[in-house]
Amino acid sequence: MSSAIINGKEIGQEIRGSVAKQVDELKAKGVTPGLAVVLVGDNPASKTYVANKQKSCEAIGMYSELIALPETISEQQLLEHIRALNEREDIHGILVQLPLPKHINEDSVIATISPDKDVDGFAPISVGKMMLGQETYLPCTPYGVMKLLEHSGIEIAGKHAVIVGRSHIVGKPMGQLLLQKDATVTYTHSKTPDLPSFTKQADILIAAVGRANFITAAHVKEGAVVIDVGINRDEDNHLCGDVDFAAVDGIASHITPVPGGVGPMTITMLLANTVQAAAKTVN
């Protein structure tokens, strides 16, 4: 029997519907939620992502502004742009598209975003609050995965979640959010010996490695829930995840496809976070 597909496009649309209602309510109070997207240089993949984010904002009646800056901009100049956005009343969320050019220190840039506008949830204050379980903007991809699990009726408490990958923006926060919902969490990464011996124990397996078709049948326990966070290109330049879908289909109880799984949820939660930021500015 094939695995149940967790449809992120559909679940994302449903959530966007309720976010759109919140946008209408805020507009009736005179506030249009606004997102600023800062793009440095002209990496084609980044341009596509940024265009998708803007289109998604506009589709639900939000304001979005693209600040496109040249590859050669200095770190100081970029920080000035961010400080100006921090001050603007019509901008509630700021997203600096990553990666940045090598001559710019990403940590300094992210730390300059006002925590009140950090809708990516990447800034040190946001990460610290998340670790402590305090109210904050959750990083969009792990937040989106939690919504996928919730909407699919997948129980988390008492389950063994195994995370493959320990990036600051996906792997690490993903484990924390699952831990907060009472999962037993194991982190694995490129230095983990005999990876399958760990992943085979997972009730919930999160693949966030960034390598096409890295997770195969040998990594997955019968009946596991497999969440594929990867966005890669295969030899034919097709979008694919970290999981060899065809190989794992039928072993997993549930699986997310790429495209149409986690990706659409990332943008959905960005919209939700920005609307939440705007809502905080009205009484």
Ligand X SMILES: Nc1nc(=O)c2c([nH]1)NC[C@@H]1CN(c3ccc(C(=O)N[C@@H](CCC(=O)O)C(=O)O)cc3)C=[N+]21
* 68 half-sphere exposure, CB direction, 13 A CA radius: 10
Q: How far is the CB of 152 from ligand X (least distance, A)?
A: 17
Alpha carbons 76 and 71: distance in angstroms, whole number:
13
Nearer to ligand X, 137 or 198 (CB): 137
Site for ligand X in 218-237 (CB under 6 A): 231
258 makes contact with ligand X (CB under 6 A): yes
Alpha carbons 66 and 75: distance in angstroms, whole number:
18
Q: Which stretch binds ligand X (CB under 6 A): 24-32, 77-85, 155-163, 262-270?
A: 262-270
Q: How far is the CB of 189 from ligand X (least distance, A)?
A: 19
Alpha carbons 52 and 61: distance in angstroms, whole number:
15
Q: Tell me if residue 97 is catalytic.
A: yes
156 makes contact with ligand X (CB under 6 A): no
Strand partners, 239: 233
Structure-derived torsion over alpha carbons of residues 264, 174, 200, 254, reported in degrees to the nearest 10: -30
Nearer to ligand X, 183 or 227 (CB): 227
**Tokens describing residue 218:** 């040998």
**Tokens describing residue 96:** 């600096």
Q: Tell me if residue 120 is catalytic.
A: yes
| Residue pair 12/262 in contact by the 8 Å Cβ criterion | no
Is residue 167 a known part of a binding site?
Answer: yes
Is residue 231 a known part of a binding site?
Answer: yes
Site for ligand X in 89-148 (CB under 6 A): 95-98, 120, 140
Where on the chain is the footprint of ligand X (CB under 6 A)? 48-49, 52, 95-98, 120, 140, 231, 239, 258-260, 263-264, 266-267
Q: Which residues are catalytic?
A: 53, 97, 120
